[in-house]
Homo-oligomer: A and B are copies of this chain.
Amino acid sequence: MSQTTSHTTTDTTDHEVASPSLDTAVLEEVLLGRWAETRRVSRALAAEERFHKIEGLTKEDHRERVLRQLHDLVSADAVHRAFPREFGGADSHGGNIAAFEELVTADPSLQIKSGVQWGLFGAAVLHLGTEEHHRRFLPGIMDLSVPGAFAMTEIGHGSDVASLGTTATYDPDTEEFVIHTPFTAATKRYLGNAAVDGKDAVVFAQLITDGVNHGVHCFYCHLRDDDGNTLPGITITDDGQKGGLNGVDNGRIRFDSIRVPRSHLLDRYGAVTADGAYSSPIESPGRRFFTMIGTLVQGRVSLTGASVAASKLALIGAVTYANQRRQFNASSPVQEEVIMDYQLHQRRLLPRLATTVALSFAQEKLLAKFDDVFSGADDSDENRQELETLAAAIKPVATWHALDTLQEAREACGGAGFIAENRFTTLHADLDIYVTFEGDNNVLLQLVAKRLLSDYASEFKDADVGALSRYVASQAQSTVLHRFGLRRALQSVQDTGDERRSANWFKQTEVQRELLTDRVRQMVADVAGQLRSVARKPQAEQAATFNEHQYEIINAAKAHADLLVWESFTEALEEVEHAGTRQVLTWLRDVYALTRIEETLDWYLLHGRISAQRARTLSPYINRLLARLRPLAQDIVDSFGYTADHVRMEVASGAEQERQDEAMEHHRVLRASSEAPVDEKILVKRRQQERRSQRKGG
């Protein structure tokens, strides 16, 4: 073991190796996770040229290509995994998503159009329909003879699905539902498969029978006949050119009192008898609603995984390029610097690399939870709600992270980053809408926050008034302590200002856990206290108070998401047996945790959680950690396990290295030859020196 002793340049402890040997094969396996084999199969498909996006196609050509690719996926037996074995599926829910998220490397439009067909349209029939529906509809959906739309979102309602305007009114005389768009804002919009390919659709509408609105339910409807003509009463318009994903044919559908038979209600969670009586196995309308839109959870998990995969591609490109590209020669007159050696470049790329690895583990945990619930292994109400909260927390941070990483990688490659063949820009354009899809990120974070607040409230549900008062008092005391910085003062006494001791503190797993947890807990408690004070006031006043703290609430939810990601990372790395690999993962985990804390350092200072002395050492310590990770960056991105057929970026092809080598060789030969021109600057300096020595001499 090579140990270092200097206090200022390293903070390795007795357990650490200064230059650990990362085993990329081990790391690749760790990152591939539980569904490694499925991922390998899917990656092999994604590496085939027929599935690759071609830049610059018109949207018509792109749509045709992607539809053809979907048929190819069917032929390759790649779309069946989540469906029941009796229909040729594999009942593998986690594996199914793992497979689909890998398709993003071929073309995000392919991932999304597949997701619409099998993950939304098909999954709605599977999860909301009964066996009869499965027998009638699943075969055509699975073999793509019936492309279909998932008609949930309306022009007027995206986030607030419960308020959809489309109605499905039961007519007992004919035993049919009348599906109707009562006003323009209730027009279904942004529906993949609607503009061109969709034959059928699952339509979400307010189920009304016998004068009562039973809330949003799902209906199976025909859109077009076998010749592709739109059926009477249905008006479809094309959403046209989009910012990205132009291989998906999004469109709008308006229903003019079309009629579907009673059997077309997907009635697993809410049924209507021939004479119009409504019944449901789920008594609470609220819980029933969340079950109806539960299909979206699958979409959220899939978008999260695809975002992680796209972030990996971005970093493979940017890190490889930064290890070959040279610019400016600050430290040597002969050779320019590799740009990965610049501290700023390390600051730009390596924390994003750490977060990408962190999210990779978070996605693995999310997939496992998803599989537990959807396979039925553990689909208790509590576990389902936990899954919903986990997905609602991770999807926002992962999708935003992908956009941020793609953009930074694009900029880090300069002009080359802007060329479409390097894919940063087009992946950014395609993934842009992932932050809105299947639940707007901010709306999802608000869901998370509400869950945190209600969990917090339920802690005191059964407490007597005395317990509550004591708690409030202790909270207040703690606030007073924080307010007057006594806790901080206490910490200051223990602090010697020794940078090494401070670094040793920051890298402790338990310290990180406490800092990240404490922030969530305190933020939730603070807002809960505010909300409690108006709990018995009129609705409008409660809403106003909530709104006055909305920004805090969303920040608390983000902090919670960060904590969940950190926990996934920490759990995963503790299971890695290879010491060098575990060491590198620990550094990455530390970078993830400490950059999160650095971003919100003002909060930790204001709340007395970190003393000023310690806080001052944080950024320098992060810089040293990054410098330590820098030589490992290429190995880390290589261990993502994507081949040149997945990456397909000129910046990652080695072409830059060839050009640098050629230029270097040219300069070497030139310097060796007698014809090499002298630099004027050197002449000028020489002349100045001569003049100066003349003056001195004279």
Q: Which residues of A contact B (CB under 8 A)?
A: 55-56, 58-59, 153, 155-160, 163, 165, 182-186, 189-190, 206, 208, 211-215, 239-244, 246, 283-286, 326-333, 336, 341-344, 347, 403, 407, 410-411, 414-415, 417-421, 424-426, 428-429, 432-433, 435-436, 440-442, 483, 485, 539-540, 543-544, 546-551, 554, 601-602, 605-606, 612-613, 615-616, 619, 623, 658-660, 662-663, 666, 675, 677-681, 683-684
Contact = CB atoms under 8 A, between A and B. Distances in A.
A663 B158 contact: no
B418 A433 contact: yes
B551 A243 contact: no
Contacts of A540: 331-332
Contacts of A421: 240-241
B327 A241 contact: no
A689 B523 CA distance: 36
Contacts of A554: 344
Contact of A157 (B286, B327, B410, B613): B327
Contacts of A547: 330, 341-343
B425 A214 contact: no
Given A243-B418, A418-B436, A429-B429, 14 more contacts: A56-B241, A153-B415, A158-B414, A158-B415, A182-B666, A184-B662, A184-B663, A240-B420, A242-B425, A331-B539, A331-B540, A342-B547, A425-B429, A605-B605
Contacts of A432: 407, 410, 418, 425
Q: Identify whether the interface residues of A are mostly helix, strand, loop, or mixed.
A: helix
A221 to B, nearest CB: 21
A243 B420 contact: yes
A211 B539 contact: no
A518 to B, nearest CB: 17
B285 A420 contact: no
A554 B348 CA distance: 12
Contacts of A160: 327-328, 336
Nearest to A489: B485
Contacts of A681: 215, 285-286
A619 B160 CA distance: 29
A186 B660 CA distance: 10
B212 A419 contact: no
Given A211-B677, A239-B419, A411-B435, A551 B285 contact: no
A436 B417 CA distance: 10
A427 to B, nearest CB: 10
Nearest to A210: B677
- Nearest 7 CB-CB pairs, A to B? A243-B425, A331-B543, A601-B602, A241-B420, A330-B543, A56-B241, A343-B550
Given A159-B414, A160-B328, A429 B662 contact: no
A660 B551 contact: no
A540 B341 CA distance: 13
18 contacts: A183-B659, A185-B659, A185-B660, A185-B662, A185-B663, A212-B683, A213-B679, A214-B680, A242-B420, A242-B425, A243-B428, A331-B540, A341-B547, A411-B435, A602-B605, A605-B606, A605-B612, A606-B612
A551 B284 CA distance: 55
A255 to B, nearest CB: 15
Contacts of A417: 243, 436
Contact of A680 (B215, B244, B550): B215
Contacts of A55: 240-241
Given A616-B606, A659-B185, A213 B678 contact: yes
A415 B433 contact: yes
A435 B679 CA distance: 32
A242 B211 contact: no
Contact of A419 (B242, B606, B678): B242
Contacts of A343: 547-551
A442 B606 contact: no
A553 to B, nearest CB: 8
Contact of A546 (B283, B326, B330): B330
Contacts of A544: 331
Contacts of A407: 403, 432
A244 B605 contact: no
B155 A659 contact: yes
Contacts of A190: 415, 418
Contacts of A605: 602, 605-606, 612
Contacts of A183: 659, 662-663, 666
B623 A615 contact: no
A658 B550 CA distance: 29
A543 B330 CA distance: 6
A351 B418 CA distance: 29
A30 to B, nearest CB: 30
Q: Give the most central of A59, A547, A551: most B CB within 10 Å.
A: A551
